[in-house]
């Protein structure tokens, strides 16, 4: 009996995988592995901050080897995500960012002894279900991207129309952001998402051309490669700028889910407009893919919901729960948040001295 998927790329009886199936699978695995490494890196950096605060160490976190290990893992993870775009469609890779949120929650639970909430279990289950639907019903019809094909995609009327609309929306949002001084979270993160659409288009182009070049077909002689490289670097820089602004103005529980929804939606639309990645998909595939995306959005929202508020209700950090630490003493934080060390003032130092004398 022969079982054919909608795009007729896999034959169940013979177990034969076509090149596009292998490329998609490799891209998915690279994206999941990359996001998981990013989760580990974030928790390593957080743990490094906790250790320095516990010891009242006068060194900055930049001198911590554990913190630099986290940075190294993050670099490797981002490299994995970059490579994933060279093997699989944008609409398949972009939504897999939810695996980073799931992985971070699991690692925080096991490694940093954080509290397991019912919303974490439900959100994780929903996000995993959504990810499964995304991978199952996404397009498998990938093609080898060359410099000539990318140049042809750039001048397609569908993309030019999409580009004009995006520029208009970006200018309007930038007007409210700069001139009217409107710093609403939707405005800031919409600017991030619009820049992200240019990022994912250019990242896939650069990554794909490098993959084809490694396979033996030189693509670095095409001007489009360097044009996309410039777009990738510049859009990433401005994207980080606006995202940092959002994190300064709003809490992580607000920024993380909204940014994930906006980024993923923008990436999917960009993949459709530029690379025509919905071409050949049946109505059922499109419907289930969109349903999987919605489940991923809901799962991320449930995992991040009220997490920061719950942490702020704690009046102290119990370092007896940190692995390898048997002490149950507490340290009163001033404004302790991920990515920054609290000021090592006299109050912290005096509390450390009290523990030593007890």
Domains in the chain: how many in total? 1
Does residue 47 register a pLDDT over 80?
A: no
Q: What's the pLDDT score for residue 339?
A: 38
Contact 203, 270 (CB under 8 A): no
Does residue 163 register a pLDDT over 90?
A: yes
340 burial type by CB count under 10 A (0-12 exposed, 13-18 middle, 19+ buried): exposed
Tokens of 303: 């995992």
Residue of 349, 347, 264 whose CA lies nearest to 57: 349
- 195 is a domain residue: yes
- 289 is a domain residue: no
Q: What's the pLDDT score for residue 234?
A: 94
3-state secondary structure 282-340: CHHHHHHHHHHHHHHHHHHHHHHCCHHHHHHCCCCEEHHHCCCCCCCCEECCCCCCCCC
Task: Round the average pLDDT of the chain to a whole number and report it.
Answer: 78
- 305 is a domain residue: no
- 96 is a domain residue: no
- 17 is a domain residue: no
Residue, of 2 and 137, whose pLDDT is higher: 137
Domain span at residue 166 reads 144-276
Q: What is the pLDDT of residues 140-150, one digit of tens each?
A: 666 788 999 99
Q: What's the pLDDT score for residue 342?
A: 42
- 95 is a domain residue: no
Does residue 350 register a pLDDT over 80?
A: no
Residue, of 271 and 54, whose pLDDT is higher: 271
- 25 is a domain residue: no
- 298 is a domain residue: no
Angle at 213 between CA 209 and CA 217, to 5 degrees: 115
Q: What is the pLDDT of residues 267-303, one digit of tens each?
A: 999 999 999 888 878 899 999 999 999 999 999 888 8
Q: What's the pLDDT score for residue 19?
A: 60
Lowest-confidence pick of 15-19, 86-90, 161-165, 255-259: 15-19
Confidence of residue 312 (pLDDT cuts 50, 70, 90): very low
Does residue 227 register a pLDDT over 90?
A: yes
Question: Backbone phi, then psi, for 140, in 5-degree steps?
Answer: -110, -5
């Amino acid at each position: 009996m022969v079982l054919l998927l909608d795009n007729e790329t896999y034959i169940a009886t013979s177990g034969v995988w076509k090149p596009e199936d292998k490329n998609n699978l490799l891209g998915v695995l690279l994206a999941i592995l990359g996001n998981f490494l990013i989760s580990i890196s974030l928790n390593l950096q957080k743990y490094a901050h906790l250790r320095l605060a516990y010891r009242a160490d006068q060194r900055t976190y930049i001198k911590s080897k554990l913190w630099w290990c986290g940075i190294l893992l993050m670099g490797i993870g981002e490299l994995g995500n970059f490579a994933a775009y060279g093997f699989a469609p944008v609409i398949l890779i972009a939504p897999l960012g939810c695996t980073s949120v799931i992985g971070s929650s699991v690692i925080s639970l096991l490694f940093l002894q954080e509290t397991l909430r019912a919303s974490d279990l439900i959100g994780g289950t929903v996000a995993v279900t959504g990810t499964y639907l995304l991978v199952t019903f996404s397009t498998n019809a990938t093609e080898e991207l060359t410099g000539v094909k990318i140049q042809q995609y750039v001048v397609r009327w569908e993309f030019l129309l999409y580009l004009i609309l995006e520029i208009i929306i970006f200018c309007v949002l930038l007007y409210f952001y700069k001139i009217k001084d409107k710093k609403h979270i939707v405005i800031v993160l919409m600017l991030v998402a619009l820049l992200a659409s240019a990022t994912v288009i250019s990242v896939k182009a650069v990554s794909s051309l490098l993959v084809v070049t490694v396979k033996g077909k030189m693509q670095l002689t095409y001007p489009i490669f360097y044009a996309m490289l410039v777009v990738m670097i510049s859009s990433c820089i401005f994207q980080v700028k606006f995202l940092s602004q959002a994190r300064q103005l709003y809490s992580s529980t607000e920024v993380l889910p909204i940014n994930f929804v906006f980024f993923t939606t923008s990436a999917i639309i960009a993949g459709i407009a530029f690379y025509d990645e919905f071409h050949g998909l049946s109505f059922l595939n499109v419907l289930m893919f969109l349903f999987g995306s919605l489940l991923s959005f809901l799962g991320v929202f449930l995992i991040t919901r009220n997490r920061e508020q719950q942490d702020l209700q704690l009046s102290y950090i119990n370092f007896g729960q940190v692995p390898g630490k048997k002490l149950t003493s507490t340290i009163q934080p001033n404004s302790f948040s991920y990515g920054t060390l609290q000021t090592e003032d006299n109050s912290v130092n005096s509390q450390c001295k009290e523990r030593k004398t007890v």
